[in-house]
Structure 1
């Protein structure tokens, strides 16, 4: 059994996009940390892909924007369509510069970039092949136990532990932090296909009466298709997705090269607190929102910025104020998470099967051809989360 001195200020459980970015933020502020990640390599598929302007601004603060801009594809416009006509357009170019677009970047690329940037700062910060087992909280420290392929019951002592280990967070569960919410009836099938459309770098959202179809460009000549389904499809296949697209839009995806297919349902969950003693939560460990709108990963990165600032503020401060500082982190990010969840609910409602789609389409057409279209663009790019509206 290996023991280390309690000299690591922060240990992060989970080295996905959120845990990696938190580590970068901490190291940039001179706060040493370690990340325990079970996977040895980045995820093998595209998964979360939309990087919003607010996140690009956070990346710029820590000097990691350029590799994302080189690898990603800039989406400057979204088009809303019914089965047979255009309802309107949203121009992200009219939003705040310089990041007046959504950057499409597959998650495997995002994780690789973040791993590389973290290695430049500290080659020992990321411990891969490490399976978190448990933690024991003491008055002045937290002792974390984990295992690797080489050795079990390894221990590392830290001032704080941060759970960035996803919606089924073991850190949250062991801290006895309640996680409440609900599962929606909404289900979807999605796949990445070779781009055979004429949309180029634009995103397209179709709103036929049978349910939403989203169509987003990806780097390397690919395009993500997301289709609303009447029920969960346990074994998604290319033929099923292609049949749904053809039935609703008349567009042919049969025989088109596909690299990823999956089905998913929708959940909304929120931890009762993001801070309990020396245990903190960020990302999906703290909040789960609908993936429709692609804001969950970005919300986690926003957690990281505030949490890193909190740790930096507490450096050389009396530890008695830590509880207040982290309570403010929890309360602030809870408010933002609830707002993001409300926006996601609106997106889902607009994409559901409609008995009378005329009224929904009329509403959207009016919004996209009025002064509100700039506000709509800001909502889709995660602006205004600190305001009262929506």
Structure 2
């Protein structure tokens, strides 16, 4: 007998922060879904940590904010400095309330909270140990094949498949969606250290001649250090990061406890479309932006809300309008992705090695003591993404 109905409305490939939130948004709207995630447990390290106000407002809509506020740390101010003096500061206090701050929350905590919230909604929604293999698009549904616990060729069919499977998305590749962009020369080393500074809950951005150094507070008395490097460091070491901080700031991290070290480069890629037939993309599968500024994960969550709204709108509508609705989703999120990338490029440019740092520092100081100071705070908290202004 020929199958004419799918098993479930939506299958989400990838159960990181974006895929988990996508599922929560759908379930809250009464749309059943399944998340295929190859990892059994949340990521073991801190990775992405900044949750911006626009995301906290999305969390408010689906009622999951409180556990994040209990686990995270509110950053209400950022201080800009050179190696020996203060240039100015940005306060988020005057940004729209109630979330007039950036919440620092390590990714392992974020994933743990989202998994728990998802399981509370539907204990069957998250399928762990599941590795996506392929999909086959039919006229009325799409069939997804995956392996689980060494059992290959498990199948589930759905109206739509949503690729939330990262920058190397297999869903995107199998849909033959072109992913274009570029890699920047900018490289960084970062690590989480016990907080021995005097900054407390404030973020600090140093602009020495040799390149950017950022340090952000984390929960549990930790602080993340991010240092601009001249080249990619394939095997990051605590000694290397501490030496760079010592040389540029004369600050000692050598004997300080650290829990995570990594190196990364910067790239900007964008899918030619976020919707093709019954295949939809969100998060890094759709767009990759610079991690400087910590906006990539938040951009993925904005995708989820917009896409969930599109799927809700289509529930009782003529299926013939789906292409138009998803095209609007794709174009909207592509515009936002480009804007986020532009903001990140400005941040990177300001943090690069300077032959004449005086001019850069004078610009930053002037900006932080001008009426535009409030607008800068809004940009750092991802406000105004739907407006014409950068």
Cross-structure match for 1:348: 348
TM-score between the two structures when normalised by the length of structure 2: 0.99
Cross-structure match for 1:220: 220
What displacement does 1:389 show?
Answer: 1.0
Is the 2:190–2:226 contact (alpha carbons within 8 Å) kept by the matching residues of 1? Answer: yes
Change (3 A) 1:208 1:323: same
Cross-structure match for 1:361: 361
Unaligned runs of 5+ in 2: none
1:153 alignment partner, SS class: strand
Cross-structure match for 2:132: 132
Is the 1:26–1:33 contact (alpha carbons within 8 Å) kept by the matching residues of 2? Answer: yes
Supply the distance in 2 between the matched residues of 1:139 and 1:277 (Cα, whole angstroms).
10
Cross-structure match for 2:282: 282
Supply the distance in 1 between the matched residues of 2:150 and 2:224 (Cα, whole angstroms).
39
Supply the distance in 1 between the matched residues of 2:7 and 2:310 (Cα, whole angstroms).
19
Cross-structure match for 2:160: 160
| Residue pairs, 1:367-386, within 5 angstroms | 367-386=367-386
Supply the distance in 1 between the matched residues of 2:158 and 2:380 (Cα, whole angstroms).
39
Change (3 A) 1:371 1:365: same
Cross-structure match for 1:58: 58
Is the 1:4–1:157 contact (alpha carbons within 8 Å) kept by the matching residues of 2? Answer: no
Tell me if 1:233 matches 2:233: yes
What displacement does 1:4 show?
Answer: 12
What displacement does 1:255 show?
Answer: 1.4
What displacement does 1:316 show?
Answer: 1.6
1:103 alignment partner, SS class: strand
Is the 2:7–2:156 contact (alpha carbons within 8 Å) kept by the matching residues of 1? Answer: no
What displacement does 1:151 show?
Answer: 1.3
TM-score between the two structures when normalised by the length of structure 1: 0.99
Supply the distance in 2 between the matched residues of 1:19 and 1:179 (Cα, whole angstroms).
20
Supply the distance in 1 between the matched residues of 2:9 and 2:325 (Cα, whole angstroms).
16
Supply the distance in 2 between the matched residues of 1:46 and 1:5 (Cα, whole angstroms).
41
Unaligned runs of 5+ in 1: none
Cross-structure match for 2:201: 201
Q: How many aligned positions are there?
A: 388
2:157 alignment partner, SS class: strand
What displacement does 1:278 show?
Answer: 0.2
What displacement does 1:7 show?
Answer: 2.8
Tell me if 1:188 matches 2:188: yes
Cross-structure match for 1:146: 146
Is the 2:4–2:140 contact (alpha carbons within 8 Å) kept by the matching residues of 1? Answer: no
Supply the distance in 2 between the matched residues of 1:190 and 1:360 (Cα, whole angstroms).
23
Cross-structure match for 1:105: 105
Which consecutive segments of 4 or more residues in structure 1 shift more than 6 A?
Answer: none
What displacement does 1:107 show?
Answer: 0.1
Instruction: State the Cα deviation string for residues 359-390 of structure 1 (Å, max 9, x = none).
Output: 11001101100110000000000000011111
